[in-house]
Amino acid sequence: MSNFTAAEAQQLLHNKFVVILGDSIQRSVYKDLVTFLQKNDYLTSSQLKAKGELSFERDSLVEGGQLGELNNGTKYREVRQYRTDHHLIRFYFLTRVYSDYLESILADFKAGPQPDVVITNSCLWDVSRYGNLSMDKYRENLEKFFRRLDEVILPECLFIWNTAMPLAKKITGGFLLPELQYKDETLRVDVIEGNYYSATLAGSHRFDVLDLHYYLRFDDQHRLKDGIHWNQIVHRKITQLLLTHIADAWGVEVPKEKPIVGSHNNEKRKDSLQWLNRHAVPYSPLAPYPSSYKGPVYDENSVYGARRQYNGEPPFQMESRPLFFTSGPSTSYQCGFPRGLPSNRVVSMMPNASSSSNLFNFSMKKSGRFPTYMAHPPTSQWNQGDSRCSLVMRKPLQQRDGGPPHLRQYVLPYGRY
């Protein structure tokens, strides 16, 4: 992940039309992006909690929200738009990944300017608000959504599917209605299952996937008390991840890592690091390891973060682990473990909650690789090598790979679960 500044984000999205579709979390993604295009400040807690307001950071409420009826139902609508001379960011609130309302949004794409980037996620409402068969319906709607989107958007449009973010074990607040409280214990597992289906289908339709569930799996301290939403630090991290993904897809050199702008006392931290460097001593073991010791072996060549070698076992190499491999009937899959661990430590996974038949049919390859496409803007939109620009247009991926420009290109697949 790169560390963009507001000026670099403005340049990356210069003369671009970005559309964000999704629930309240994606609305916060929209708000942080709009804020970041103007300044380096974080969102405030009140800005994160607000919904349907008439104006936010110079944007405007186009439809729904306070112009309509504020509620927590599945019929709630909210359309926001931030527009300047060189940027256009639009947000549509969704409570279901595919519906008649989604068709009206696609009609907007056909009638108006076509978006350059579409960022979407819809999962939590889909698997919790539409009855006991909501997961089966979610899979059907995902297929309809990706098929219709592929028919409407232009080939050069960059579509990014965000996976749903991790939930807490306990969900509070007003999201779960009283009659749906029984789903409190299983909803976080349903989200993981929904992420698996949505990411697999997005890959099969050759769309990009940004696995937010993976990137935020250790950021529980930044989750709000309701167990669903996240604070401003996480949303700035999401913005940086999205900008990095977009820059890489468009063949733009991402900025090098810089100190994060904030209220931290960097001078004291710098002095502490200098003191540690001055007083560091070479490694000197007090005693040799006993023959029964099976832990990591440290010596004078050991470095923090280096791969550790275990006595009598190969190093733990995550990159060599197969993502998924089939074993047994078509409804049962097993997750592979790293080489060097006992082969009997295998966890069975059910891609479908139904044990009688696998209603979700798709081809599962041994390597778990699914084709994914990317899109790139015209090279003429960037000042190549101009010293006034901090972002430089690289040679587009298609041209580097020998393919024609402005067509989606295969990239590394999604495969975290």
Q: Phi/psi of residue 28, each to 5°? A: -70, -35
Q: Which residue has the tokens 């729904």?
A: 64
**What does the alpha-carbon distance between residue 80 and residue 224 come to, in Å, rounded to a whole number?**
24
* Contacts for 57 with CB less than 8 Å, ≥ 6 apart: 31, 34, 35, 38, 47, 82
Q: What is the pLDDT of residue 44?
A: 95
**Of 50, 90, 94, 100, whose CA–CA distance to 70 is shortest?**
50
**What does the alpha-carbon distance between residue 217 and residue 206 come to, in Å, rounded to a whole number?**
25
Tokens in use for 112? 């108006």
Say if residue 29 is exposed, middle or buried (CB neighbours under 10 Å; 0-12, 13-18, 19+): buried
Task: Decide: 3 and 260 in contact? Cβ < 8 Å.
Answer: yes
**What does the alpha-carbon distance between residue 325 and residue 379 come to, in Å, rounded to a whole number?**
41
Q: What is the dihedral of CA 204, 369, 166, 263, to 10 degrees?
A: -110
Q: Phi/psi of residue 117, each to 5°? A: -135, 135
Q: Phi/psi of residue 87, each to 5°? A: -140, 140
Tokens in use for 221? 């301290």
Q: Which residue has the tokens 């009638």?
A: 111
Q: Give, as one character, the DSSP assignment of residue 26.
A: H
In the CATH hierarchy, which fold is given to the domain comprising 6-258+371-400?
Rossmann fold (3.40.50)
Strand-pairing partners, residue 20, are 91, 119
Going residue by residue through the chain, which has 417 residues, state the pLDDT in tens, using 9 for 90 and above.
Answer: 788 999 999 999 999 999 999 999 999 999 999 999 999 999 999 999 999 999 999 999 999 999 998 988 899 999 999 999 999 999 999 999 999 999 999 999 999 899 999 999 999 999 988 888 899 999 999 999 999 999 999 999 999 999 999 999 888 876 776 666 667 778 889 999 999 999 999 999 999 999 999 999 999 999 999 889 999 999 999 999 999 999 999 999 877 766 554 444 445 555 555 555 555 444 444 445 455 655 555 444 444 334 434 444 444 333 333 433 333 343 333 333 333 434 343 333 333 333 333 333 333 333 333 333 334 344 334 444 444 445 655 544 433 344 433 344 433 333 333
DSSP 324-388: -EE-SSTT-EEE---TTS-TT--EEE-SSS-SS---S-----TT-----------GGGS-TT-TT
Q: Phi/psi of residue 29, each to 5°? A: -60, -45
Task: Give how far the C-alpha of residue 172 lies from the chain's centroid of Cα atoms, to the nearest Å.
Answer: 24
**What does the alpha-carbon distance between residue 14 and residue 247 come to, in Å, rounded to a whole number?**
12
Task: Decide: 261 and 41 in contact? Cβ < 8 Å.
Answer: no
| Domain definitions of the chain by residue range | 6-258+371-400, 324-362
Q: Can you point out the beta strands (E) in 66-198?
A: 78-83, 87-93, 117-120, 158-162
**What does the alpha-carbon distance between residue 69 and residue 390 come to, in Å, rounded to a whole number?**
45
Q: Which residue has the tokens 């733990």?
A: 316
Is the alpha carbon torsion for 359, 167, 185, 178 positive or negative? negative
Q: What is the pLDDT of residue 51?
A: 95
Q: What is the pLDDT of residue 380?
A: 38
Is the alpha carbon torsion for 274, 279, 285, 287 positive or negative? negative
